[in-house]
Amino acid sequence: MSTRASRGMVVAITTVSAMALSTVSTVTTGAAPASGKPFLTTSAPASGGSAESPPGSPAPPPADSPITPEARAFGQSIKVVRVKRHLERLQEIADDNGGTRASGTPGYNASVSYVADWLRAAGYRVTLQEFTFPFFRNVTFPLFRRIVSNVAKPYINNTDFRTVTYSGSGGVRARVQGVDLTLPPTPKPSSTSGCQARDFARFVRGNIALIQRGGCSFQIKAERAQAVGASGVIIFNEGQAGQGVDDRRDLVRGSLDAPTVKLPVISTTYAVGRELSARRTVVTLVTDTESDLRRATRNIIAESDWGDPNRVVMLGAHLDSVPDGPGIDDDGSGVAGILETALAAKDLRAQNKLRFAFWSCHEFGLLGSRHYLAGLSPTEKANIRLYLNFDVIASPNYILGIYDGDDSDRVGAPAGPPGSDRIERLFQAYFTETGRPYRSVDAAIRTDYGPFTAAGIPSGGLFTGTVDIKTPEEAVIFGGRAGARYDPCYHLRCDDIANISDTALGLNSGAIAAAAFVYARADDLPGGHPVATDVFK
């Protein structure tokens, strides 16, 4: 999954201790606020408590709740031990295949076989939708060291530096030479380092080119360095302070346009680049990569053999990991949640068709979900009455996040297509009635939710957080550790079976199942025209 903002309205509870109330500034009490966010009637874990907190007392369902007693019971029938068995198998698959389940690798293919076999055995009609994509991976982990007085100072992969996508392979120990650097940086981005041939006029063949971000693509910078005989390329961030993606001091995550550069190409933080700009700096740089512009991969699409094909309820999660890790939270957790829901729902025999998608190439730019939608006719898209996306639902320092379908928080992405607000309300109702706090999170246009909303399909989903930092307020409400990331192993090798909150996994899997139950039986779905009565009226 890609990172996204997750600062939104926190829906807390009414029986928080006096100490907690002094910390939480947005506790909801009394009637539901005008935004439509309901309040809960259970107690919060104390600040600094464990994220594995015990459940609160369920609230009685309001008379007009979309969560019927049957739907709630169906959700709570999902046992975390059964969900986690899928994660354990995905971990085993990664362990057997070089520690990864990335699209285009044997680990991904084994993951496809595992999920598809379960779905076929449950009676679903399973389609493996094949397509090709531009593949890239590190065959072995890269090595980058600065040599000081013949002593190697190592830099940390994915913290200080990373391999640029479509980098070539090679190993070199050589002097670093700056190319038209702007140090210190100007207040606003202005660098054109490495963009013009004249920038390399005095470049010494065999040196490693140190190039600053800005002014042109990484492809142009790297190709110009290769043309003058550089033995490697280091592209560092430009240096301006900012927030989030606008902070040009952090590790820059870039890509070449195609695998035309045969040299090692890495990116670094501004601080590392500044350090390397010192005169007579020598480094060791080793990359071992694999690129393939037409690597084959497959989405899994599974449909119930019952239900109206013109009224499709669709749930999805991405099956691929990043190349650098097994991807158990991101997004084995979502995969396990919807797979166990599919197994539980196989005999519902309801009026609406259930369709489950397990996407490939999410980590290469949402290519799997985009390919799927591009192959549908306008009528086939219209038949998908809603899409539910589950990308990261068991972060160890979790929040219980619901995509903000109506943009009531006025933060980040706009409201989803009409009907997305109703999906948000359904998940709110489930957590309310099971006695759990929740918060709205910015609708995740950079996950597979995005292509569906762009197609006009009402969408929603759940999210437990990745790289953002848990606030003191959230620690009071959800437990866990304030000042730490929701998922400290996001996109790293340590995103393994130990990087999971069983509590969050169980709670969100129950919510997924309850939503599938409601929408499989609903007369009026968020997208399209009602058959009879509205379950939300």
* Domain residue limits at 229: 136-292
Residue 2 makes CB contacts below 8 A (sequence gap 6+) with 446, 447
Low-confidence ranges of the chain (pLDDT < 50): 2-9, 11-57, 531-537
Domain assignment of residue 129, yes or no: no
Distance CA 290, CA 368 (A): 21
Check whether residue 351 and residue 429 sit in a common domain: yes
Domain assignment of residue 535, yes or no: no
CB 360 within 8 A of CB 103: yes
> Is the alpha carbon torsion for 272, 274, 278, 281 positive or negative?
positive
Distance CA 152, CA 269 (A): 19
Check whether residue 67 and residue 150 sit in a common domain: no
Distance CA 76, CA 84 (A): 15
CATH (domain of 279)? 3.50.30.30
Beta-ladder partners of 201: none
Locate tokens 């939708």: which residue? 129
Check whether residue 351 and residue 483 sit in a common domain: yes
Last residue of a domain, one of 224, 259, 292: 292
Check whether residue 174 and residue 251 sit in a common domain: yes
Domain assignment of residue 297, yes or no: no
Q: In this structure, what token pair is assigned to residue 226?
A: 């290769």
Check whether residue 312 and residue 288 sit in a common domain: no
Distance CA 352, CA 310 (A): 8
pLDDT at position 59, please?
52
Check whether residue 227 and residue 326 sit in a common domain: no
**CA-closest candidate to residue 384, choices 535, 527, 534:** 527
Check whether residue 350 and residue 207 sit in a common domain: no
Domain assignment of residue 51, yes or no: yes
Residue 438 makes CB contacts below 8 A (sequence gap 6+) with 11, 40, 400, 401, 402, 427, 428, 431
Check whether residue 149 and residue 177 sit in a common domain: yes
CATH (domain of 494)? 3.40.630.10
How many structural domains comprise the chain?
2
pLDDT at position 263, please?
97
Beta-ladder partners of 266: 163, 234
Domain assignment of residue 205, yes or no: yes
Check whether residue 336 and residue 398 sit in a common domain: yes
pLDDT at position 1, please?
55
Domain assignment of residue 145, yes or no: yes
Check whether residue 279 and residue 310 sit in a common domain: no
Domain assignment of residue 165, yes or no: yes
Q: In this structure, what token pair is assigned to residue 262?
A: 């045969």
Check whether residue 411 and residue 432 sit in a common domain: yes
The DSSP call for residue 117 is H
φ, ψ (nearest 5 deg) of residue 74 = -65, -45
Check whether residue 407 and residue 357 sit in a common domain: yes
Domain assignment of residue 371, yes or no: yes
The two beta strands, 352-359 and 308-318, are parallel
CB 429 within 8 A of CB 60: no
Distance CA 363, CA 3 (A): 11
pLDDT at position 251, please?
94
DSSP secondary structure letters along 225-282: HHHTT-SEEEEE------SGGG-TTS----B-SSS---S-EEEE-HHHHHHHTSTT-E
